[in-house]
Structure 1
Amino acid sequence: MPETPPITTAVLPLAEKSLPALSGRVRIPSYDRKALSPGVLHVGIGNFHRAHQASYFHRLFELGEDHDWAIIGAGMMHFDAAMRQKLAGQDWLTTIVELDPEGYKASVIGSMIDFVAIDPGKLIIAMTDPQIRIVSLTVTEGGYFLSAETGGFDPTHPAIIREAAASGEPQTVFGVIIAALKARREVGLAPFTVMSCDNLPENGHVARATVLGLAQMADPEFAEWIATNVAFPNSMVDCITPATGPREIDLVRTTFGIEDAAPVVCEPFRQWVMEDDFPQGRPSLEKVGVEFVADVAPYELMKLRILNGGHAAIAYAAALLGHHYVHDAMADPLVAGFLAKLTKDEILPTVPAIPGVSMDDYVTTVARRFSNSALGDTIPRLCLDGSNRQPKFILPTIEARLATGKSVNGLALEVTLWCHYCSGRRDDGSTIELIDPNAARLRERALAARDHPRAFLQMPDIFGALAEAPVFVDAFEAALLNLQKQGTKSVLTSYLAS
């Protein structure tokens, strides 16, 4: 990590009144925050939102543009209440530290000007304010009530069943959105745009499906009105943002002399690609690097297969070899070589060209981001939730290769490494803690695969038809037998030499 000398002056609490004194230590807002007015209500004021969306808005305000698009925070969960309390004490300001290996860069951002009390009724009132033209969301993938089997909206989820029967007293953010849209229609106010900023494919379509699915259960006529009148643009979002803990709070205090109860650290890289579908208008975010396109899908596919697939590729190989940090894994020629060869030979050929985008440059940028030693990203984090991540980031690439008659030896090896990881032992014999909603089943199947490799593939909800695809199954079986006999280092060495 870069060495930054500790601050030698007094530590100051983050607050509007402290900004003049902090101006020599970090970049502070150059705009008059009192002159801002709201345009966006955002639900889910976590680290990613502040590192990404709120930072883009802040940079736009710095240009003197669109000061009528400030953000009002909101939430529905107990942790939202805790975040509201922290940010209220510092006038809704946040310290953002970009973890650049060549030196940390810190800014205080002021694009959020208020935070609605954690109360569904007050949130509905806030959403019916005529100034609010966009309601945006970062509620995580689990917050959209998706079916594990279909990937679509799950009308049988207990929270959704309760919500549909709530009789005007919503308990989920989507119930609140429906109630607020209905209230706006009743007074002749145009509907706001619903803008998902969550890191999941076709996030706008997912948000639309959840809103319409819930509305259909309670009021089919109003569901039709929403389908006709409300925009749900898709977007692709990207910025690696670790969680905040005592280490990050102490870093901001000792390095920059700021007492911030909820600072954010992130990588210097950001990307936001969005469909331009905002009937009630939008801020001029293209002036600060947001790409507005007709179709986000090609960009999503590029990210899912190269970046997310790349994370999966290094995760289990690195874990079995005993690496803890991602940057240490990328310094291992076997892990970095596996990523590079797999990406070039099997992943990249499945990603269609995007006009104006260099895939080679994107691949190089991804590898550089993974190697960022200042970020402190961990291999255990990348290994989380494999039963959800593999079907999104790896298995579709295998299907695409098989559909064109191409080999899948490297991708099958990645699945093999995941299987071996699920058996619970690193190559040095130490125990692996498997954190996954299907952990028990995965371990059982992985242990059974020691004698019968194909046993691991007999999970239809994960592998589907791939479990019966001869080219993939044969490659998986051969790789697993080799891995069991020779170990991770030897198998990766052979793969790189092939």
Structure 2
Amino acid sequence: MSQERLNNSILENLPPEVIKPAYDRSEVTTGIVHLGIGAFHRAHQAWYTENRITAGEKDWGIVGASLRSAGVRDQLVPQNGLYSVVEKSNAGTKVQIVGAVSDVYVAPESPQQLLELLAQESVRIVSLTITEKGYCHDPASGNLNPQHPDVVHDLENPQQPKSALGFIVGALQLRKERGLPGFTVLSCDNLPSNGHLLGRVLSQYAEKVDSELATWIADNTTTPATMVDRIVPATTDEDRNELESILGCRDEAAVMAEPFSQWVVEDNFLRGRPEWDKAGAMFVDDVEVYELIKLRLLNGSHSMLAYSGYLAGCETVADVMAEPAFNKLALHFMQTEATTSIDVPADFDIAAYQAQLIERFENRALRHRTWQIAMDGSQKIPQRWLGTLRQQLANDGPIDVVSFALANWIRYVSAVDEQGNEIEVSDPLAAELKALCDQYKSQGARKLAAAFLAFTPVFGDDLRESARLQEKLSDWLQKLETEGTLACARKYFAEI
């Protein structure tokens, strides 16, 4: 195994079929700071930005920041920020080296250094992929959670923040004091109206710091909405070893991705932006309908397949899709429940989009683990399923599949699978959800369903009032308990 890491000095020695940066990296200056520089950002926004730097837009280089751990910094910095995007499909593999990222900061190691970076005038965009839970909000209401431990900490320790909100507001305060302009704050997370939500929680946080600052921030920032889409599974050692045999050197920061990529962006930038549209992004006045289509069809189906597939013993999404019952169920859910909850634009070919999603889920070259998709369900479910559910309940429409999905999620967060084995549930509310299961499971499916629908951090205050939903959810919980997930999928959805 090669001991040499990917770095600037060996770029020219890489195989000719590998796409390499076609520009002088020393000429690139920082215009973007990205908070939460995980695999998705590296395969998506940084990949689009690489295209524009290659085209000559060299003032849009990226410095990344990890808000929690040093893992990504330790992968990227020894490689001069270089990493591979490995596109994998049933047709083969394509490797591109991305050079858009010049450095990575680790916020807990030096929060003051990150605040100063964010306060630099050359930084015109601060972008985010911090996952749903990183917004320190109440998912049911969309408002700032003032009791969130990071919010409490940051308000008391403004020079040593932990949260993205604390860093952004702290940096904007420095800019105000120094007479510098603000910046665009660009959410790239899977949240409905992510720009509006980000603007709201930033404003609510800033008000707690200083109302005059909050007014200045409102006048000196924009928070465009975005919709992002690319399947980026976690990179495994097997992936890295396979890539090493192609490159002839070690890339610890490599990311795996499908060929498909989509980015829809509200064109509302304070101080310019890269011409990402020339790299395939779409700039629009209103992102919301595209976002709903993606959240409810792609993300909604993905989560449904993840929970039911995991309980059925499937390790990856492609494994789930290889089971005909689940394959049919995914398309059925999109057609009958998710799509009919949205006012789809007349010029958008929704049938083609549905077929494309099925094909993407069937990609066996990407090992996208059901367990990975199942993470943080309490934060994802309000966006991915509950909008569909509320719309269908209001219209007396079908709720069979979304109720089946919810029942599987409840089984999943019980932390015990159908064989009695422990499930490692990764969720900020894992303890509370398991406690609900433990408390009510012995009282029967109806009591368990009622207890979950009354759990306001996920379901809000309204869904507990639906007798139809209570009945459907308790019915599925009972069937899953006695028959199991796979048997239920095969038996009750056989005629779709």
* TM-score between both structures, scaled by the size of structure 2: 0.90
Pairwise CA distance, 1:272: 1.0
Q: Does 1:89 align with 2:78?
A: yes
The verdict on how the C-alpha distance between 1:358 and 1:210 changes in structure 2, with shifts beyond 3 A counting, is same
Q: Deviations over 1:254-311 (max 9, x none)?
A: 2332211221112222111111111211111100111111111111111111011101
Q: Which residue of 2 aligns with 1:470?
A: 467
**What is the CA distance between 1:23 and its match in structure 2?**
4.5
Matched, 1:281 2:272: yes
1:448 aligned partner: 442
- Whole-angstrom distance in 2 between the partners of 1:124 and 1:420: 43
Match for residue 12 of structure 2? 20
- Mark the CA change 1:161 to 1:29 in structure 2 (over 3 Å): closer, same or farther: same
User: How far 1:163 moved relative to its partner?
Assistant: 1.8
Say which one has the larger Rg. 1
The question of 1:109 aligning with 2:98 is answered: yes
Matches within 5 A, 1:85-234: 85-116=74-105, 118=107, 119-147=110-138, 150-166=141-157, 168-234=159-225
Instruction: Specify whether residues 497 and 76 from structure 1 end up closer, same or farther in structure 2 by C-alpha distance, changes over 3 A only.
Output: closer
1:61 is paired with a residue of what secondary structure? helix
Deviations 1:308-340 (A, max 9, x none): 110122233323332222111101111111112
Q: Distance in 1 between matches of 2:175 and 2:389?
A: 46
Partners of 1:103 and 1:54 in 2: CA distance:
23
Given residue 190 of structure 1, which amino acid in structure 2 is its aligned partner? Answer: P
- SS of 2:147 mapped into structure 1: coil
Q: Distance in 1 between matches of 2:241 and 2:152?
A: 44
Q: Give 3-state SS (helix, strand or coil) of 2:228's partner.
A: strand
Quote the Cα distance in structure 1 between the aligned partners of 2:298 and 2:485.
Answer: 22
Q: Distance in 1 between matches of 2:247 and 2:280?
A: 27
Matched, 1:56 2:54: no
Is 1:262 matched with 2:265?
A: no
Whole-Å separation in 1 of the counterparts to 2:22 and 2:163: 37
Which digits, 9 at most, give the CA deviation of each residue in 1:452-474, with x for residues without a partner?
Answer: 43432323224443233122223
Contact conserved, 1:35 with 1:67, CA < 8 A, in 2? yes
- Does structure 1 conserve the Cα–Cα contact (< 8 Å) formed by 2:336 and 2:398? no
> Is residue 2:426 matched to residue 1:433?
no
Distance 1:379 1:203 in 2: 25
Asked whether the 8 Å contact 2:316–2:368 carries over to 1, the reply is: yes
Between 401-410 and 302-311, the greater mean CA deviation after superposition: 401-410
Gaps of 5+ in 1: 1-6
Matching residue of 2:323: 332
Q: Unaligned regions of 5+ residues in structure 2, if any?
A: none
Q: CA deviation at 1:425?
A: 6.0
> Structure 1 residue aligned with 2:366, among 352, 365, 375?
375
Offset, 1:210: 3.0
Task: Please tell me the residue identity of whatever aligns with 1:415.
Answer: L
**Cα distance in 2 for residues equivalent to 1:100 and 1:319:** 23
Residue 61 of structure 1: how far off its partner (Å): 2.4
Deviations 1:432-484 (A, max 9, x none): 515141342243266236x3434323232244432331222233334444444
Distance 1:120 1:482, change over 3 A: closer
Partner of 1:4: none
Distance in 2, matches of 1:149 and 1:379, equals: 25
The equivalent position to 1:495 in structure 2, one of 462, 485, 493, is 493
SS in 2 for 1:13: coil
- The correspondence of residues 360-399 of structure 1 with structure 2, limited to 5 A, is 360-399=351-390
Q: Which residue of 2 aligns with 1:347?
A: 338
SS, match of residue 493 in structure 2: helix
CA positional deviation for 1:236: 1.1
Q: CA RMSD in A?
A: 2.5
Which secondary structure state, in structure 2, belongs to the residue aligned with residue 282 of structure 1?
A: coil
Separation (CA, whole Å) in 2 of partners of 1:423 and 1:198: 27
What are the Cα deviations for residues 53-100 of structure 1, in whole angstroms up to 9, with x where unaligned?
1100112223x23122111223343x2x34324322211111111122
Conserved 8 A contact 1:424-1:434: yes
Q: How many Å separate the matches in 2 of 1:142 and 1:321?
A: 27
413-422 or 398-407, which moves further after superposition?
Answer: 413-422
Asked if the contact 1:191–1:229 (Cα under 8 Å) also holds between the matched residues in 2, the reply is yes
Instruction: Give, in whole Å, the separation in 2 of the partners of 1:220 and 1:432.
Output: 48
Choose which of 15, 31, 36 in structure 2 pairs with 1:39. 31
Residue deviations 1:153-207 (CA, integer Å, cap 9, x gap)? 1122232223223364544443332232233233332211111222222222232
State how far apart, in whole Å, the 2-side matches of 1:423 and 1:182 are.
44
Shift of the 487–159 alpha-carbon distance from structure 1 to 2, 3 Å rule, reads closer
Task: Give the counterpart of 1:413 among 404, 407, 426.
Answer: 404
* Paired residue type of 1:108: I
Query: Bigger shift: 243-252 or 28-37?
Result: 243-252
Tell me the distance in 2 between the aligned counterparts of 1:419 and 1:162. Answer: 32
Distance of aligned partners of 1:29 and 1:141 in 2 relative to their CA distance in 1, 3 Å threshold: same
Distance verdict in 2 for CA 1:445–1:352, change over 3 Å: farther
CA distance in structure 2 between the partners assigned to 1:88 and 1:386 by the alignment: 32
- The more displaced of 271-280 and 484-493 is 484-493
Q: Per the alignment, do residues 111 and 491 of structure 1 end up closer, same or farther by CA in structure 2, a change over 3 Å counting?
A: same
